[in-house]
Amino acid sequence: MTRGRRIVGGIAVAGLLLGACGGGGDSTGQIGEPMPDVTIHAMTDDSTTSLADIDGPAVINLWATWCAPCRAEIPAFEEVHRARGDVVRFVGVNIGDGAEAARTFLDETGASYDQYLDPDGYVVTDLGTTNMPVTFVIDAEGTITTRHLGAMTVANLNEAIDEALAD
């Protein structure tokens, strides 16, 4: 392989990784719709639930251990969870990792809110997303009010929650 081909190939791979980890954008949107009826597995035991059964208001964050923006945003989620967790439920959904790898990641990042696993990636399929992280905020009726691709800050997370609570 020539040097030029290696550079072009490297650029293509970097573009794919950016698109899958917070840099690209999805065109599918579910604002105004309920969360889909897709099963997620509790990280603490063998129980399951559905995204559709999560009572709002809630923040639902899809993440993966290999995603650097996911790691960067979890401290902001934890900060807002500690400040507003009595009013808004926080739920993390790990996409594609095993329970042990996900637990290690969560221990390293300090997340203490509810965590679930989607080992087969059904959640991302049903939500029409390929990017990580992606965050959904739902109101008290379970309707999606925010869909945010990429890492969130404390400020934009609070803004999205305020919007959901105002409905």
CATH number, domain of 84, equals: 3.40.30.10
Q: What is the pLDDT of residues 24-44, one digit of tens each?
A: 333 344 889 999 999 999 998
Strand-pair category, 48-50 with 114-118: unpaired
CA angle 65, 77, 109 (to 5 degrees): 40
Provide the domain limits for residue 70: 3-166
Mean pLDDT for the stretch of residues 123-143: 91
Instruction: Please state, rounded to an integer, the average pLDDT across all residues of the chain.
Output: 83
Question: What's the CA gap between 77 and 90, in Å, rounded?
Answer: 8
Tell me the CA distances in angstroms from 162 to 41, 56, 84, one per residue in order. 28, 13, 11
Q: What is the pLDDT of residues 53-71, one digit of tens each?
A: 999 999 999 999 999 999 9
Supply the pLDDT for residue 8: 34
Supply the pLDDT for residue 30: 81
Of 1-5, 76-80, 86-90, minimum mean pLDDT range: 1-5
CB 25 within 8 A of CB 149: yes
> Could you tell me which of 101, 164, 129, 157 has the C-alpha nearest to residue 22?
129
Residue 131 has pLDDT above 90, yes or no: no
The domain tally of the chain equals: 1
